[in-house]
Amino acid sequence: SLNFTSGILNDVAWDSTRNATMSEVEKLKLAAREKRLAKEAAAREAGEVEEASPAPAPHSAPQATPTPVAEKGPLAQLSSAEAQCAKTASECKELLLQLEACTEGSVLEKLSTSCAKLSGAVGKLQGSMDEIDLGDLDDDARPPARQRRKAINATIENELEPALAKLKPALAAARARMG
């Protein structure tokens, strides 16, 4: 009888501990959910205020207002990073062509500065990928956002970094041509 009772007490204690732990997890989930809903409500409220004012309404009508509201927080950061990847890739290609055609020292120094800026921009972009917090997104939006972040990182590693690597020898060759 004593063994049976102690077994029940152990089970009760274990269940209460487990339930307390689950309650803490649920509390955290609830707090995160409330925080997300408050952000969404604030965004909607800001959107309603803009729509209610007569002057911005004609300007915002051609711009498709729902898209910016959907692109907030991490999704906006991802969109910005995707645009930055495309811009940086085209700038690297253009800069490589300019370095190959460069014949003036003053132009070469400007191109050298541009190479350094592009290298810094790629480093900053790569660092910003680690800072994007996808935890506030809905469960349905999180996996596509992770895929987008992976694609951006792949673009950085497979396109931008190799393009930057091509700029360094082109810069050295242009300096060698200048004497």
pTM strictly above 0.85 = no
The per-residue DSSP string of 75-108 comes to HHHHHHHHHHHHHHHHHHHHHHHHHHH---HHHH
Do residues 171 and 99 make contact, with C-beta atoms less than 8 angstroms apart? yes
Residue type, 119: S
Residue 29 pLDDT:
64
Average pLDDT over residues 8-37: 56
Q: Is 112 exposed, middle or buried (0-12, 13-18, 19+ CB in 10 A)?
A: middle
CA angle 159, 162, 168 (to 5 degrees): 140
Residues 38-87: tens digit of each pLDDT: 777 777 776 654 443 344 444 433 444 444 445 678 999 999 999 999 99
Residues 133-145: tens digit of each pLDDT: 998 889 999 999 9
CB-based contacts of 160, cutoff 8 Å, min separation 6:
85, 88, 89, 92, 122, 125
Q: How far apart are CA 132 and CA 74, in angstroms?
A: 6
